Structure 1
């Protein structure tokens, strides 16, 4: 066994990512997996579960640009101007008397998608956490605040 050898296998349903610091060992693992499961090598990782992965000399960068653009497009805000901050300073979200949002399942899906976006956008984490507290009975105010995050 080689000292300092690292091999990482990430499995999600039928997708596998192999990563490590020794190319020969990774090729050996791929051969073993292929002999048992007939895998297909798609080459260097570029996209995985809504993440875009880019390798550079300085390291690896991960973003969710495509995922975020799809999300913004899905809610009809593609041509809107971006906000400098995800929530206006001093805004306090609470269970307010505004009318209940008419499509609570859509609100829940939106919040779920925004929670996933926080993997690469920690700047929206606080606001999304606040909005997630109203998933049971969202009001129009909560829905509008969620749209402003985008």
Structure 2
């Protein structure tokens, strides 16, 4: 009876350890510790949609002058701002209603590495009431199917 009990105990321990590893691995993945947390997935198209202005109205225009993406500086400390102009070189913006779409040029290096952040510049029209306070940023590679990548109350993991 003692001889049969040892393999069962070892099997039970192995199953327990395997389950613990799977649970810890899933938890770490969920927390973003196994991924590059805080980085934006690179897309060719990005769309900013203004959902509400500061005065509470539904916008008829984006309410921003432009928006863009920032790449990490390869040799700089991670806390420094960097390389927004390199990403935006050759980019075009189109506006339709409350949406502004950023198209990165085909020959650019837009898919080589993830972006660290995105930024927006308000319209500077002197009327802060029309600034967007609720908005959504989406990304796409074909400009037809969009995935959310940022916005108000959007958390990166």
TM-score w.r.t. the length of structure 2 is 0.20
Higher strand share: 2
Which structure has the larger Rg? 2
Question: 1 or 2, which has the higher helix percentage?
Answer: 1
TM-score, normalised to structure 1, is: 0.20
